[in-house]
Amino acid sequence: MSEVRFGPGGIPDWLEPMVRYCSRCGGLLGFGPIEGEERDRLSCPSCGFVSYVNPRLVVTTLPITGRGEVMLIRRGIEPGRGRWAQPGGFLEIDETVREAAVRETLEETGLRVEPGAIVGLYSRLHAGVVVVAFEAQIVGGVPTVTRESLETRPFAPEAIPWPEIAFETSLSALRDWVARVRPDLPLPDLTTIGRSFGG
């Protein structure tokens, strides 16, 4: 994954090929000042279309068992293969955030959940996404392994495998959840768990 380019547009390099052409007329977009806008933007010299590049929303859950454990998935694919993460995925255009939370959790774990409070909302600039994490009570289903997962299993708040968590946002969400449900537990120093995150 390339670095965030805080240059023109602040658009991650990997995203540039997807925002090169005008989605209205197919012309080549240019980058620069737009009348009435406070920052430089991509726009089409041919038809005047302004191409706004905004983050997408990733909806995730921390599925909670009746014993107060969190179900995590050991990922079977890159990025983060072999490491643990919560279920989640991109919000579709025709569903609400809570519908997406229920759908993604069912698809990735086989578990039916009722999303409750939002544990946190996290920006991942280099990935161009915002990640929302719901605490979600498990109300049915059977834990399953999917094409993308090696294993699904519960972890008590005091047994989170911190060094084996896949993503920085997963670390943040789990840390914020533990701080909420078990304020007596020591929290991991996320800067010392630092290493290269795959995405």
Give the binding site for Zn ion (CB under 5 A): 22, 24-25, 27, 44, 46-47, 49
Task: Round to whole Å and give the CA distance between 183 and 188.
Answer: 12
Instruction: Give whichever of 46 and 65 is closer to Zn ion, judged by the CB atom.
Output: 46
Instruction: Give whichever of 21 and 155 is closer to Zn ion, judged by the CB atom.
Output: 21
Least distance (Å) from Zn ion to the CB of residue 21? 8
Least distance (Å) from Zn ion to the CB of residue 36? 18
Least distance (Å) from Zn ion to the CB of residue 15? 19
Instruction: Give whichever of 20 and 24 is closer to Zn ion, judged by the CB atom.
Output: 24
Least distance (Å) from Zn ion to the CB of residue 42? 11
Instruction: Give whichever of 24 and 153 is closer to Zn ion, judged by the CB atom.
Output: 24
